[in-house]
Amino acid sequence: MGSYKSSVFILVLHLLEGALSNSLIQLNNNGYEGIVIAIDPNVPEDEALIQQIKDMVTEASPYLFEATEKRFYFKSVSILIPENWKTKPDYVKPKLETYKNADVLVEPNQPGNDEPYTEQVGKCGERGEKIHFTPDFLAGKKLDQYGPQGRVFVHEWAHLQWGVFDEYNKDEKFYLSKGKPQAVRCSKDITGEHTALKCQGGSCFEGKCKFNKLTGLYNKECEFIPHKQQTVKTSIMFAQSIDSVVGFCTKKNHNKEAPNMQNQKCNLQSTWEVISNSEDFKKTTPMTTNPPNPTFSLLQIGQRVVCLVLDKSGSMVNGDRLNRMNQAGKLFLLQTVEDRTWVGLVTFDSRAQVQSELRQITSSTDRDALSKRLPTIASGGTSICTGLRSAFTVIRKKYPTDGSEIVLLTDGEDNTISGCFNEVKQSGAIIHTVALGPSAAKELEQLAQMTGGLQTYASDQAQNNGLIDAFGALSSGNGAVSQRSIQLESKGSTLKNLQWMNGTVTVDSTVGKDTLFLITWTTQQPQIFLWDPSGTRQNGFVVDTATKMAYLQVPDIAKVGNWKYSLQASSQTVTLTVTSRASSATLPPITVTSRMNKDTGRFPSPMVVYANIRQGNSPILRASVTAVIESANGKTDTLELLDNGAGADATKNDGVYSRYFTAYDTNGRYSVKIWALGGINTAGQRAVPQPNGAMYMPGWIENGKIKLNPPRLENNKTDVQKKQVCFSRTSSGGSFVASNVPKAPIPDLFPPCQITDLKAKLHGYSLINLTWTAPGDDYDHGQASKYIIRISTSILDLRDKFNDSVQVNTTDLIPKEANSEEIFVFEPENIPFENGTDLFIAIKAVDKANLESEISNIAQVSLFIPPAPETPSPDASTVPYPNISINSTIPGIHILKIMWKWLGELQLTLA
């Protein structure tokens, strides 16, 4: 176990550099250790599944080793087994491994939703979130479609660990190159044939591909079917299912023209170039011997054990901190912590006091008894290590500290805190930290990072409800989602002269069990009115005058609909928090999980805030999502998060909402809070096929004949009832620490963000229509000053010598507000554009400080002039550019030229 503990320390050092990853993976020499594969609690018990996971990793390791030129292999893997599966002598208790920080999730089978995929929310080269598999896939039921499980694991591992993207394109299967259609693939040497597929009732029939005479491309039913026998060795990110494919595309054989995610996201780099630039690659050299087989640890989740370690030092009298801590602690004990959890309570000043040994929560009596042990008097100094050591002692009386949790809250400085870092590492406990106020110990974040805990920060601004949000976020990292406490609302206001705080809270059908309305105040009890959706006023609030709070537990399942509240008070701060649990164990609740891309933000590097909104596996689309980021100064910045596939958002309509944060105002801690409302439910199915997954192979050519695979169960648009779902959620996104922020006035060092969704279409035989999402003045905020559009017949010249390429006249192209849709039509000039010419286009945005964005993704058009038709066609749909959109982005003279050109082409078409 010594190597495990030393490798955890290596992980800590890596985390402290600022990269945020909950993963426990470390690269030890050439072997990956600490990989966690977790079986979802809703997967039916099947011991064979454990062996199938082992077989997949064992098969994957030598494949990875050869694919990376003898550089990497899988050394050790932990398999997390659900608590509700039978216990066995060889199952041990986890340490820091949880479902939340698992690298691979094995989720229940769902028809049409069984494709292996990896969540990726970052840029090229940034680590992904999680790999998703199903039992059917692991059992080998998808071999023909995806290939061997070990090979698929390596494909997904490249997404997860190195941030590369797919080299196929489900939506755009063909593109024009020199006037001829090509299948999107990497490398171009992969051979195959085109066939049109018609699929119905579980089987497919082949036909002849139809050629679109206007575009020069095949119609959408056409598929590229590869030969089963190939000699080509690349690429794993196109089709690892081809037997001969054993490597990644390199700079030499990479298909730069193919319109796929790898080219779009990685600036035309091959997957091997991205992998070669990774930190993993830089710190290793090829091995001279073959690696050993992977080793496996079988870990079974046990009962949750939590010890609260709460500061009661003298400084806790400031800003009503002690009382606010008790309000938040009460919410945690009364509501957040799950039934059957063992909970202990330690308080500390310069010494530690055990307020309660571990007690299992089996009833409201247990919750009340623990709540009564919260501290009432603040005095003394601050010794954090004393509190932690006391918590370890409390836990060890009943259980080993491995996998136990400590919630550490402090507002004080303590320069001796690093003295117990080694004990913390040795304990195997997870430490969640709550930094309260401006002076809390700087080393707190290190405790959370080295143990995989949640780090949060709460200011003294009581109306922001930061302390309650921090404790509300501490539901189990292992329990079934149906058991977790879900925050529906968190709001506060400072009221004067009998002012009212009015509003509604939506209880949707996915929640309603154990619903709790909690009101807090700072001086005297406000007037409290609450009505359920039928208009019935709710009585029965339990009032705790000592802690200045009142709460109402709604019996059974709370009514679905809008609950209306009105609170009235004078000269004090009032807050409202509403929490609930899933209404049923079988209906997944809508959940919001949020985080920042890094633990530390160093000015002028922007931060990115993410909010992932789902119901089970299904993304929730078109929600209204807002992030509120509060600095150590108490200043708040509000961001609307977007799922538009532009700016900070990696993928459109995947249920992950993102935005850049650049509004630094001081060094120190910043807290993050998310509000989410409304949304479109995708009826238990994904709205779009998941990106970043292994390609579903429609069939193979064997011995000159096409052999088709069973069709994918696609989400047919007519089957998916996209219905509006009314819901409200709040979620803590934890905290981050900013550094290097200059004193005001803060200089503008933020350029516009990179344009990542540039698309080009040819209209007629000379007009090019561009669309993209507008960047801002500062990344994706505000308005850029101008665009620079350049074109070239060489894709590499455009990328590498952008400033030397032919510039398009954009004099009258005024950038719109960030995240607006931009449309621009132009005719290429000063460049040969003839039949069969491939033309490449890219954009940079420039802000008022003359800072330029990175070059955009490169869009392509290929001039295809069809043979003259034998008979004239009066059909308007064959006329190039019949519905030209005249808008402010097209100069007036340019419009006349375009219309004149269009009339000439219309004449030719009708001739």
What pLDDT was estimated at residue 641?
Answer: 98
* CA 108 – CA 390 distance, rounded (Å): 41
DSSP single-letter state for residue 439:
T
Name the amino acid, one letter, at 902.
W
Question: Residue 333 — very low, low, confident or very high, per pLDDT cuts 50/70/90?
Answer: very high
What pLDDT was estimated at residue 3?
Answer: 37
Percent of the chain whose predicted confidence (pLDDT) is above 70: 90
Across 541-550, average pLDDT? 96
* CA 824 – CA 819 distance, rounded (Å): 16
Among 625, 370, 577, residue whose Cα is nearest residue 467 = 577
pLDDT in tens, 429-474: 999 999 999 999 999 999 999 999 999 999 999 999 999 999 999 9
Question: Residue 905 — very low, low, confident or very high, per pLDDT cuts 50/70/90?
Answer: very low
Across 359-384, average pLDDT? 97
- Does pLDDT of 156 surpass 90? yes
Among 256, 196, 198, residue whose Cα is nearest residue 225 = 196
Whether the ω angle into residue 235 lies within 30 degrees of 0, i.e. cis, is yes
Question: Under a CB-based contact definition with an 8 Å cutoff, are residues 884 and 899 in contact?
Answer: yes
Q: Is the dihedral of CA 753, 756, 757, 761 positive or negative?
A: positive
| Other Cβ atoms closer than 10 A to 776 | 24
Question: Residue 480 — very low, low, confident or very high, per pLDDT cuts 50/70/90?
Answer: confident
Choosing from 156, 273, 445, 630, the catalytic residue is 156
Give the angle subtended at the CA of 552 by the CAs of 548 and 557, to the nearest 5°. Answer: 155
Question: Under a CB-based contact definition with an 8 Å cutoff, are residues 411 and 466 in contact?
Answer: no
| Other Cβ atoms closer than 10 A to 49 | 19
- Does pLDDT of 13 surpass 70? no
pLDDT in tens, 697-721: 999 999 989 999 888 765 444 344 5
- Residue 903 CB partners (closer than 8 Å, separation 6+): none
Question: Under a CB-based contact definition with an 8 Å cutoff, are residues 594 and 655 in contact?
Answer: no
**3-class DSSP state for residue 30?**
coil
Question: Under a CB-based contact definition with an 8 Å cutoff, are residues 426 and 452 in contact?
Answer: no
Q: Any long-range contacts for 884-887 (C-beta under 8 Å, 24+ apart)?
A: 884/763, 884/825, 885/823, 885/825, 887/823
Q: Dump the DSSP string for 282-331.
A: HT----SSPPPPPEEEEEE----EEEEEEE-SGGGGGGGHHHHHHHHHHH
CA distances from 743 to 90, 602, 664, 739, 882 (A): 58, 14, 10, 12, 56
Token pair listed for 168: 């196929």
Residues in the chain: 911
Across 779-806, average pLDDT? 97
pLDDT in tens, 29-45: 999 999 999 999 999 99
Question: Residue 882 — very low, low, confident or very high, per pLDDT cuts 50/70/90?
Answer: very low
What pLDDT was estimated at residue 616?
Answer: 87
Q: What is the pTM of this model?
A: 0.91
What pLDDT was estimated at residue 204?
Answer: 82
Annotation marks residue 156 as catalytic: yes
Question: Under a CB-based contact definition with an 8 Å cutoff, are residues 662 and 778 in contact?
Answer: yes
* CA 428 – CA 402 distance, rounded (Å): 4
